Amino acid sequence: MITNACAANVNGEGSYLAYDDIFNAVYPFSLEPLPYAADALEPAIDAKTMEIHHGRHHNGYINNLNSALENRSNLQEMTLSELVAGLNDLPDEVQTAVRNHGGGHLNHVIFWNTMTPGGSSSAGRLADAIDRDFGSLENLKAELKSAAGGVFGSGWAWLAAGSGGALSVVQTPNQDNPLTDGLTPLTGVDVWEHAYYLNYQNLRGDYVDAWLDLVHWEKVSELYEQSMNA
């Protein structure tokens, strides 16, 4: 008998999204189930934080993004990455909503889909590029931790790919996404307090350390490969 009753979490347990499903989704946007159970990342990230973060915060960004595009059929044809990358060319009336809620949606989809219990290993061209651009995975992790710690207020720290596959670590404020600056985000850590406050309170560095051990580098490798073919 399968005794999986604790999977009564409202967030469900779905599967990892492919590159196209992350970056090229179109209106109306919807909340996909987490690719693992809400308690799967414990003790690094507790189930309650996951449920609130995914079911309320992320869902809120999606609802607000859909509302902003509701009566704009021309924008409804754009993919999520086109909206976020082309933010500065959008009509003034929707720019802020797409920045906050389009970014909020994309950022969280990347976040959920590039974590896995216990983490995983990078492979192929990403592993080579990490060594080329950072010297080692340990150096990259140190840069990510430093960037995450240096975000004042709410925001994100990212591993991003530029033209030709050059890797860099960047910060974005609020729900901004590196795509708006011409970089493809590969993974990122949410340092809004809603992401960690229940468990870590003010100890953002401990949360970032825990996140670094959850990074699904195998999935990040896949996104990297596809970003270079996109």
Q: Which residues contact Mn ion (rule: CB under 5 A)?
A: 190, 192, 195
Residue closer to Mn ion, measured from CB, 140 or 195: 195
Q: If DSSP states are collapsed to H, E and C, what string results for 30-44?
A: CCCCCCCCCCCCCCC
Provide, rounded to whole angstroms, the least separation between the CB of residue 225 and Mn ion.
27
Residue closer to Mn ion, measured from CB, 75 or 212: 212
Sort 176 into a burial class: Cβ within 10 Å, 0-12 / 13-18 / 19+: buried
The total of other beta-carbon atoms located within 10 Å of residue 164's CB is 7
CA angle at 60 for the pair 57 and 64, rounded to the nearest 5°? 145
Residue closer to Mn ion, measured from CB, 153 or 164: 153
Provide, rounded to whole angstroms, the least separation between the CB of residue 54 and Mn ion.
9
Provide, rounded to whole angstroms, the least separation between the CB of residue 194 and Mn ion.
5
Residue closer to Mn ion, measured from CB, 29 or 134: 29
Q: Report the C-alpha gap between 208 and 187 in whole angstroms.
A: 13
Residue closer to Mn ion, measured from CB, 1 or 10: 10
Provide, rounded to whole angstroms, the least separation between the CB of residue 96 and Mn ion.
18
Name the phi and psi angles at 134, rounded to 5: -125, -10
Alpha helix segments (H runs only) across the chain:
19-23, 47-52, 59-69, 73-76, 80-85, 92-97, 103-113, 124-134, 137-150, 197-200, 204-212, 217-229
Provide, rounded to whole angstroms, the least separation between the CB of residue 108 and Mn ion.
6
Provide, rounded to whole angstroms, the least separation between the CB of residue 207 and Mn ion.
12
User: Which residues have CB under 8 Å from 67's CB, separation 6+?
Assistant: 97
Residue closer to Mn ion, measured from CB, 45 or 83: 45
Assigned token pair, 32:
């996909």
